[in-house]
């Protein structure tokens, strides 16, 4: 797997989660792009499966990326609906790349989120 393959696959997956609506204020986010343009990201994404032992969980928990709606409510995008075999491939790739690059999970996962955001907004790939 390459960075570009992972980013492309995750971006397509997240695009499929829309439309989305804030349960607090009812604001609608018709696309991933609209969501990114009108929410504020919070904290680095969290991948709970990284915290677990090296044996892959048969039913991966997935990753969560939080953002605030303009009303202040926290929204989450989750990878919990990815097929387990795909989650396992991503997890193995993430572990290997974090070790190879010497990056902690927060920095590595934050970089993935930032690149997905850039691409969703139509910015050139860095």
Token pair 């396992």 in the structure block, residue: 88
Model pTM score: 0.86
DSSP 3-state of 66: strand
Model pLDDT for residues 6-64, shown as the tens digit of each residue = 999 999 999 999 999 999 999 999 999 999 999 999 988 988 887 765 566 677 888 89
Domain regions of the chain by residue span: 3-53+60-119
Rounded Cα distance between 8 and 24, Å, is: 31
Q: 32-48, pLDDT tens digit by residue?
A: 999 999 999 998 898 88
* Residue 116: other Cβ atoms inside 10 A: 24
Count CB neighbours of 3 within 10 A. Answer: 13
């Amino acid at each position: 797997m390459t960075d570009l393959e992972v980013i492309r696959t995750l971006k397509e997956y997240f695009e499929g989660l829309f439309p989305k609506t804030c349960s607090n204020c009812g604001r609608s986010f018709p696309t991933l792009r609209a969501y990114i343009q009108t929410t504020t990201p919070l904290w680095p994404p969290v991948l709970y499966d990284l915290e677990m032992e090296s044996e892959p969980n048969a039913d991966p928990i997935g990753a969560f990326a939080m953002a605030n709606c303009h009303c202040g409510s926290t929204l989450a995008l989750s990878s919990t609906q990815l097929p387990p075999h795909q989650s396992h491939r991503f997890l193995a790739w993430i572990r290997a790349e974090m070790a190879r690059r010497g990056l902690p999970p927060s920095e590595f996962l934050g970089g993935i989120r930032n690149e997905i955001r850039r691409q969703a907004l139509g910015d050139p790939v860095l």
